[in-house]
Amino acid sequence: MSDAKTLITETVKAHDVVLYMKGTKSMPQCGFSSRVAGVLNYMGVDYTDVNVLSDADLRQGIKDYSDWPTIPQLYVKGEFVGGCDIITEMTLSGELDTLFEESGVTYDKEAADKIRAANG
């Protein structure tokens, strides 16, 4: 399990935005992963996707690393942000925009506004 922790630490520090998910950004394998990847894709965020289905140690390791029981998990600038429900709430409230702005992460503000308008 320490190998998984090392790999996770290196990955979240090497990339500004990382999504640990079931499947990939182009082919999510669960609805929750699909929702978060869809938001990030629509908003034009450049992020690294990590498929936890390819490695059982990694799938358990990410849960232990964040002390969060579910996947997907979003990390921005090395910090755990949350899972599907939290990312959905942050998107709709504008908090995700603020986090990206404060973290220097490029995203499409107009796309974010469209998500809120469609769900408002």
> For tokens 């990590």, what's the residue?
50
Q: For 2-119, which CATH class?
A: alpha beta
Residue 48: alpha-carbon gap to chain centroid: 9
Ligand-binding annotation for 84, yes or no, is no
What are 81-92's pLDDT values in tens digits? 999 999 999 999
pTM of the model: 0.96
Tell me how many degrees the CA angle 70-73-76 measures, rounded to the nearest 5.
155
Which residues in the chain belong to E strands, given as ranges? Answer: 17-21, 48-51, 73-76, 79-82
DSSP category for residue 53: G
Average pLDDT over residues 48-64: 96
What are 12-40's pLDDT values in tens digits? 999 999 999 999 999 999 999 999 999 99
Question: Could you state, in order of their start, the residue ranges of all structural domains in the chain?
Answer: 2-119
Asked if residue 102 has pLDDT above 70, the reply is: yes
